[in-house]
Chain A
Amino acid sequence: MSQSMSQSMSQSMSQSMSQLVGSTTLETNSDPNAYAVQIRGLNYYFGQGDLRKQVLFDIDLDLLKGQIVIMTGPSGSGKTTLLTLIGALRTVREGSLKVLGQEIVGLSRAELVNVRRNIGFIFQAHNLFDSLTAAQNVEMAVELLDEWGDKRQKAIEMLSQLGLADRVDYKPSALSGGQKQRVAIARALVNQPALILADEPTAALDKKSGREVVTLMQQLAKQEGRTILMVTHDNRILDVADRIITLVDGRLETDDNLENFVNTHDPKSLDRRMFMM
């Protein structure tokens, strides 16, 4: 089967799927303050002119506050792009995107920078400064707030919650991969952001530390009522999700809770394309 045929088949299939599932499982809530993220009619394109390519198609999505939402989908389906749009790292031109109650479409660059300060970002790579200790890396985030007289204390508390109390003065080069990612999580969470965006945070970790990291994120989120949107390919960590959404070829396909998701997907082959062939 040729590549293009498989793609068009998966596309048509995904459309029918989203019609099927979308209406039955979309939660509705009339209070707009109940949502951390509200997206309506979002389209996104890369490139210009002849090279212009649409990567996100008519996305509607509401994320309830306090929920952990996992986003899955084949590689190249637009997950990272959607995450960067919600995180105010890219400018949205079509549709509406409300983050933490604020419409960010049409904001200036400086205003977008301010929106970002309320969001915790966790990347696939830890992106820690090698020259700074674990505590200093976390303090860099605290310094974004106006009051940071007790920044070291805050950093140490956060690192301790992630099990790194005895590593606060270590530089990244002296830490394991899992420990480094936990420092990065501490940095993302220390300012208690209402929204946490994570893009494959466990991809660079082994099974055990990946599991640990996600469990810690889950605990912290539940304690503090944070909203988490996490992209992952890792089936073993799906159980932390309150809700699972799937993006295929730029379209939001499935909107499920875990039980439905497991029932409708073969857990061994979540990739829709592999499923097809």
Chain B
Amino acid sequence: MRRRTPLAWANLTYERRRLLTAIAGVSFAVLLMFMFRGFENALYDSQVQLLKLLNGDVVVISKLKLNMFVPEQFARRRLYQAQAYDGVEQAYPLYTTTAYWKNPETKRIRPLRVLAFNPQDPVLPLPGILAHQEQLHLPWTALIDDRSRPEVGPTEAGIVTELAEQQVRLVGTFSLGTDFASGNGNIVMSDQNFLRYFGALGPDEDRRTLNTVDVGLLKLASGANVEAVAQALRNQLPKDIKVLTKAEFVQQERDYWRNNTSIGFVFSLLATMSFIVGIILVYQILYTDVAEHWAEYATLKAMGYSNWYLLGIVLQEAIILAVIGFIPGFLISWALYQLTMNATGLLMQMTIARVINLFIATTIMCLISGTIAVRKVQATDPAEVFGS
């Protein structure tokens, strides 16, 4: 059995230049949607990136700590109390603060987030950190995030510069990335060094000890019910702390940014506008095709083709445009995601779910354009093609 004459494909590909314009138009809309969706999620994903990497099943924080920005600590005693509970195997304290870093080349000062813990504890099991556990024990040493912003300067082992106005020697690097709370990048050091840098500050400064903890991580025995243990701790420990499962901890942070900023709204709006721009661009292309072939389409109607067939032709053109326009748009976006990640340290993730969602959005975009454009053919009176 022979196939139908591929009229949609033939009409679309007959004029190469118009086809290229059409593909460029769709690709552009796809690119905009990818970038805006990407930024929106990057901002959310980046906020919880560190939280997801922290090695704990249950997290303990001060009840005042609504998000990672809030510098509220709780007593380390609570961690020891928690450790005594059934099912809790380990408790790790994590200390965080912000400290000024001097770019070793430009000598400009930049604030970095400091993450401090006992190097023996697997608090943040990143390859770069695990590889330098021993060196971290040396006094006045630290590791630097190699995905810090470029203004921080070169990030490599051996660099000697200043942190919190004291000398520091880098013994290695790890990869984390930036977020709102650490706009420029991160430093990792041992709890002992944390005490060296931040335990002997002047009287008006926020002097730190190891007795107050920013984030406490609890490792549970394998097979323990995370929800149940968290609930037990919540009920029985004093109420000056908050006990969250790791998922709740991540969700609290995400919700904070979602509910207290306009990021989501702004980027959704931008993505929607890209979608509408796409509809207009594709409509223009399809309408031109329909208008230029008006007499031919009307002749098809005179021959006995129905409006449905013509709708089918234009919708096929729309879907073809969606598919071949999506591919370059997707590839360029992917490249731009990498570029953005390298330039800003933001987490731009090209997830399969996002690719599928945007492909569906692109198809819907083209179908809407096609449906509007085809009304012209459907309204065509086949009697009008007879000459006068």
Question: In the complex, what distance in Å separates the CA atom of A114 from the CA atom of B4?
Answer: 20
Tell me whether A129 and B10 are in contact (CB under 8 A).
yes
Q: Does A87 contact B (CB under 8 A)?
A: yes
Residues on A with beta carbons closer than 8 Å to the beta carbon of B293: 129
What are 5 A-B interface contacts by the 8 Å CB criterion? A129-B296, A131-B10, A136-B5, A139-B5, A140-B5
Binary per-residue interface labels of chain A (104-132) against chain B in the complex, 1 for a CB within 8 Å, 0 otherwise? 00000010011011000101110111111
Tell me whether B386 and A80 are in contact (CB under 8 A).
yes
Smallest beta-carbon distance B3→chain A, Å: 10
Smallest beta-carbon distance B93→chain A, Å: 72
Closest residue of chain B to A199 (Cβ to Cβ) is B386
Q: Does A17 contact B (CB under 8 A)?
A: no
Which chain A residues have a beta carbon within 8 Å of chain B's beta carbons?
A: 75-76, 80, 83-84, 87, 89-90, 110, 113-114, 116-117, 121, 123-125, 127-132, 136, 139-141, 143-144, 148-152, 187, 199-200, 203
Q: Does B7 contact A (CB under 8 A)?
A: yes
Question: In the complex, what distance in Å separates the CA atom of A116 from the CA atom of B306?
Answer: 11
Interface residues of A, dominant DSSP: loop
Residues on B with beta carbons closer than 8 Å to the beta carbon of A131: 7, 10-11, 13-14
Smallest beta-carbon distance B20→chain A, Å: 16
Residues on B with beta carbons closer than 8 Å to the beta carbon of A76: 388
Tell me whether A84 and B296 are in contact (CB under 8 A).
no
**5 A-B pairs with least C-beta separation:** A124-B387, A131-B14, A117-B304, A131-B10, A89-B383
Which chain B residues have a beta carbon within 8 Å of chain A's beta carbons?
A: 1-2, 4-5, 7, 10-11, 13-14, 293, 295-296, 298-306, 381-383, 385-388
Tell me whether B2 and A89 are in contact (CB under 8 A).
no
The listed residue with most A CB atoms (<10 A of its CB), out of B4, B7, B302, is B302
Closest residue of chain B to A148 (Cβ to Cβ) is B2
Question: In the complex, what distance in Å separates the CA atom of A22 from the CA atom of B10?
Answer: 51
Interface residues of B, dominant DSSP: helix
Tell me whether A129 and B295 are in contact (CB under 8 A).
no
The listed residue with most B CB atoms (<10 A of its CB), out of A80, A113, A127, A128, is A127
Question: In the complex, what distance in Å separates the CA atom of A90 from the CA atom of B11?
Answer: 28
Tell me whether B2 and A121 are in contact (CB under 8 A).
no
Smallest beta-carbon distance A74→chain B, Å: 12
Residue from B5, B382, B383, B385 within 8 A of A132 (CB atoms): B5
Tell me whether B302 and A143 are in contact (CB under 8 A).
no
Residues on B with beta carbons closer than 8 Å to the beta carbon of A132: 5, 7, 10
Residues on A with beta carbons closer than 8 Å to the beta carbon of B14: 130-131
Question: In the complex, what distance in Å separates the CA atom of A203 from the CA atom of B387?
Answer: 10
Residues on B with beta carbons closer than 8 Å to the beta carbon of A83: 386
Closest residue of chain A to B15 (Cβ to Cβ) is A131
Asked if A116 meets B303 with Cβ closer than 8 Å, knowing A125-B295, A203-B387, the reply is yes
Residue from A84, A114, A200 within 8 A of B383 (CB atoms): A84
Tell me whether A116 and B304 are in contact (CB under 8 A).
yes
Tell me whether A80 and B387 are in contact (CB under 8 A).
yes
Tell me whether A200 and B4 are in contact (CB under 8 A).
no
Residue from A121, A136, A149, A152 within 8 A of B302 (CB atoms): A121
Question: In the complex, what distance in Å separates the CA atom of A117 from the CA atom of B306?
Answer: 11
Residues on B with beta carbons closer than 8 Å to the beta carbon of A141: 303
Residues on A with beta carbons closer than 8 Å to the beta carbon of B11: 129, 131
**Besides the known contacts A113-B305, A113-B306, A121-B299, 18 further A-B residue pairs in the complex with CB atoms under 8 A apart:** A110-B306, A116-B303, A116-B304, A117-B303, A127-B296, A127-B298, A129-B293, A130-B14, A131-B14, A132-B5, A139-B5, A140-B5, A140-B303, A144-B303, A149-B2, A187-B303, A200-B387, A203-B387
The listed residue with most A CB atoms (<10 A of its CB), out of B293, B300, B383, B386, is B386
Residue from A84, A136, A151 within 8 A of B386 (CB atoms): A84
Tell me whether A116 and B7 are in contact (CB under 8 A).
no
Residues on B with beta carbons closer than 8 Å to the beta carbon of A136: 5, 10
Question: In the complex, what distance in Å separates the CA atom of A113 from the CA atom of B295?
Answer: 17
Tell me whether B382 and A75 are in contact (CB under 8 A).
no
Residues on B with beta carbons closer than 8 Å to the beta carbon of A80: 386-388
Question: In the complex, what distance in Å separates the CA atom of A149 from the CA atom of B1?
Answer: 5
Question: In the complex, what distance in Å separates the CA atom of A129 from the CA atom of B298?
Answer: 11
Residues on A with beta carbons closer than 8 Å to the beta carbon of B302: 87, 89, 116, 121
Tell me whether B2 and A123 are in contact (CB under 8 A).
no
Smallest beta-carbon distance B240→chain A, Å: 76
Question: In the complex, what distance in Å separates the CA atom of A206 from the CA atom of B387?
Answer: 17
Question: In the complex, what distance in Å separates the CA atom of A144 from the CA atom of B303?
Answer: 8
Question: In the complex, what distance in Å separates the CA atom of A87 from the CA atom of B299?
Answer: 12
Asked if A121 meets B10 with Cβ closer than 8 Å, knowing A80-B388, A84-B383, A132-B5, the reply is no
Question: In the complex, what distance in Å separates the CA atom of A151 from the CA atom of B301?
Answer: 19
Residues on A with beta carbons closer than 8 Å to the beta carbon of B13: 131
Residues on A with beta carbons closer than 8 Å to the beta carbon of B303: 116-117, 121, 140-141, 144, 187
Question: In the complex, what distance in Å separates the CA atom of A80 from the CA atom of B14?
Answer: 32
Tell me whether B2 and A144 are in contact (CB under 8 A).
no
Smallest beta-carbon distance A216→chain B, Å: 20
Question: In the complex, what distance in Å separates the CA atom of A150 from the CA atom of B2?
Answer: 7
Question: In the complex, what distance in Å separates the CA atom of A141 from the CA atom of B385?
Answer: 17
Smallest beta-carbon distance B257→chain A, Å: 52
Smallest beta-carbon distance A230→chain B, Å: 12
Residues on A with beta carbons closer than 8 Å to the beta carbon of B301: 113
The listed residue with most A CB atoms (<10 A of its CB), out of B1, B293, B383, is B383
Closest residue of chain B to A139 (Cβ to Cβ) is B5
